[in-house]
Structure 1
């Protein structure tokens, strides 16, 4: 999709600070981090939101979650059981705060997370 920010990042048209890549996923640092670690994990293929991805390709959704966990490990958010942990967030639709219509998971960590999130 020519007008999709994340599709343009996947295509290399817009630079991103990539931290992990697979054939089907890309993870890069958020440009407006909300925690010391804030990485976005996206499928290379365009899907509007998590509901659309779940309907079209549940296997890719599982790969996305696996990639997010791998990022958390790589970023030191998962250790020997005494780790601080991490939060995965996906927003689906404008009322939930989705600002880019390309499914993405936020991997947040490095600080105490509160509940409710906001």
Structure 2
């Protein structure tokens, strides 16, 4: 149920409205939620072109996604991510998650064209 009773928006926690808004969802995708969290956190606020360009560089292992949470050794075993080149701390190159995010962004762009 949505926050506004007149507009049903199942699956979203915020009221979505606006002329420059397009949505897309990915369901039953075989990727780790940790990778998805860090990719989403990193590309938030970027344009679609910037996000796709960076994710393609991640897939080619030229740039890494910075890991900010769950990057230390803890109770669940060794979850440490090593430091990457440049001024980045812990990070990784999540290939499958990057590929799925590119598909999701392209789907949102197609939805915006319609």
- TM (norm. structure 2) is 0.30
**Structure 1 or 2: larger helix share?**
2
**Structure 1 or 2: larger strand share?**
1
- TM (norm. structure 1) is 0.29
